[in-house]
Structure 1
Amino acid sequence: MGRRKGRDVSGWLIVDKPRGMTSTAVVNKVKWAFDAKKAGHAGTLDPEATGLLAVALGEATKTVPYVTDSLKAYAFTVRLGQATNTDDAEGEVTATSDARPTDEEIKAALGAFVGEISQVPPAFSAVKIDGQRAYKRAREGETVELAARPLWVEELVLTDRPDADHAELEMTCGKGGYVRAIARDLGAALGCHGHVVALRRLWSGPFDLEGAATLDEIEAGAKDPALDRLLRPVEAGLADLPEATCPAASVGRLRNGNPASVIAPSDLQFGDECWASHDGRAVAVGTYMGGELHPSRVFVADGTPG
């Protein structure tokens, strides 16, 4: 059997995704450029959306759920007066209205979209229905009925009103939110219809766009190990979890998936999820059980940048 292709390189790459590419295409480009064995991302961006896409390589893929589950922030522009079948500018206009809300009316309507809300994903989305993506069914002309799902919206504010037809907003929300659905439902609430014409992710969990890599930068340095300088450590993906430290004697046990003693911060409670480090490097994630960590994910010391 031949050697599995790729390098044992691990870490997070924060990409400023350009418009017109799928998130999967960006991940594939990064994987190719770094000659990495394994790659994934934390939270899909629509092809026409731009901004932060957190790409995990190697051992960092084990921390993807902790970034995906974190809060995220978006800046977006809503076109008022038109509904589309995709809830963005790529779709066909399905309804129009001459009504245009005032700034005050928009601000007043936003309150209903903050806190724990119920949201029906767009018909053109990656949600699966009986094993098939909703967008595939919608493209084939099928009427797609998706169930509402809960979404936590931390904040939703009107930031600018360039003209009567457009409203610029920023939203901070939890996992699984669709900005296109917010635009659609806000337009409906205002009685004028609405869809997204521009969308940019500003930050996601511990990551923001400061120092984010561009695809041009990644392609220019492709296959050169010096590109590793752009990677952030695996541990960056665990920033929202409490950290315990483990003595040298515990490292081997934890990496083998066995419970071992750790030194926990004073506010860590029995049953809390946390990660354990040794010399600043991730050893395992697991459940704190009174002096011991019971690991659920373990990390090998492979190619993680220091």
Structure 2
Amino acid sequence: MARKRKGRDISGWVLIDKPAGMTSTAVVGKVRWAFEAKKAGHAGTLDPDATGLLPIAIGEATKTIPYLGDALKAYDFLVKFGASTTTDDAEGEVLETSDARPSDAEIEAALPSFVGDIRQVPPQFSAVKVDGARAYDLAREGEALELEARDLYVDELTLTERPDPDHALLHFVCGSGGYVRSIARDLGQQLGCFAHVVHLRRSWVGPFDIEDAVTLDKIVELERTPEIDSLLAPVSLALDGLPELKLTEQGAIRLKNGNPGQVLPGNVEYGDLAWASFDGKPVAVGRFRAGELHPERVFNL
């Protein structure tokens, strides 16, 4: 018999302003412990040295993480020109240097080539799997990797500030699987001066915004107290990009048991992905067919 996981039956989203120096996994662990939650996960890894928004799902909210897969994410990052590094950020060893520095006009002229549907090669030090192993583990062992380019949608890449000739602050909005470090690396190569990321901060992910995030210090302050539950956002917040359908009472009962359930008319077409609610609570996500929602995931709320 499987051992029952200890913890509270609590569900929702916690938006964390991640500090530098921690892995995303470590932040999830701290939040899960503070809420005494049975399970928790995050939507979109941030590098240890990166800061900014890390949405953490608790309990039944973990079932909504897959529906954020195509959500756009926004970053602000500082690029340093004149050197490439092994990690494509300031933590790596310098590989090549250049005395050339691009003008603002040259930077702005180069940025459009990184917008739209592009192909991007992940950094050598990344979580991409190569023959079952993580690329960063192989890179630490000194192995030179030939990583394949991947499709990426970039919605926006703009120059927002030029503090000095050596640096540029860029704003980047992309889809799933984007690497800011690769953008800096490739931009430096295109400009003929080499470049790497100095600082990276994520400002929003789909429906989640850094303005609504709390610090880990706040989590620690309220850990394992009744007051900490006030930091939870609704499970349904992650479903903002999907249409909502209202369930009949009988439909809700059937859906909760994993069967297709009757929904009231809504703005959906046959086969559309949607989520269904009853009495203000999400019941399931599934496909709409002939007046019913056929469930893919059912929430126990």
Deviations 1:33-78 (A, max 9, x none): 0010000000000000000000000000000112232001000000
Equivalence for 2:279: 279
Residue in structure 1 matched with residue 43 of structure 2 by the alignment: 42
1:1-306 maps to which residues of 2 (within 5 A)? 3-266=4-267, 268-301=268-301
Instruction: Find the aligned partners of 2:144 and 2:121 in 1 and give their Cα distance.
Output: 14
Matched to 2:299, the amino acid is: F
Q: How many Å separate the matches in 2 of 1:16 and 1:156?
A: 23
1:229 counterpart SS class = helix
User: What is the TM-score normalised by the length of structure 2?
Assistant: 0.98
* 1:273-303 CA distance string (max 9 Å, x none): 01001111100000111311110000011xx
Give deviations 1:131-167, integer Å, cap 9, x for gaps. 1100000000001111100000001000000000001
Q: Is this contact kept in 2: 1:67–1:206, CA < 8 A?
A: no
Question: Match for residue 304 of structure 1?
Answer: none
Question: 1:34·1:225 contact (CA, 8 Å) conserved in 2?
Answer: no
- Partner of 1:210, secondary structure, is helix
Deviations along 1:69-103, one digit per CA (max 9) or x if unpaired, are 20010000000111001000010000001111100
- Equivalent position amino acid for 1:283 in 2: V
Question: How many residue pairs align between the two structures?
Answer: 300
Unaligned runs of 5+ in 2: none
Scaled by the length of structure 1, the TM-score of the pair is: 0.96
1:3 is displaced (CA, Å) by 4.8
Measure, in 2, the Cα distance between the counterparts of 1:290 and 1:61: 29
Output the amino acid matched with 1:39: A
Distance in 1 between residues matched to 2:173 and 2:56, nearest whole Å: 20
CA distance in 2, matches of 1:208, 1:233: 14
SS in 2 for 1:52: strand
Look up the SS of the partner of 1:218 in the other structure: helix
Partners of 1:158 and 1:272 lie apart in 2 by 38
Give the 4+ runs in structure 1 shifted more than 3 A: none
User: Partners of 2:205 and 2:145 in 1: how far apart?
Assistant: 29
Q: 2 CA distance for matches of 1:125 and 1:225? A: 38
What percentage of aligned pairs have identical amino acids? 63
SS of equivalent to 2:123: coil
Alpha-carbon deviations, 1:176-234, whole Å to 9, x = none? 10000000000111111110000000000100011311000001111112100000010
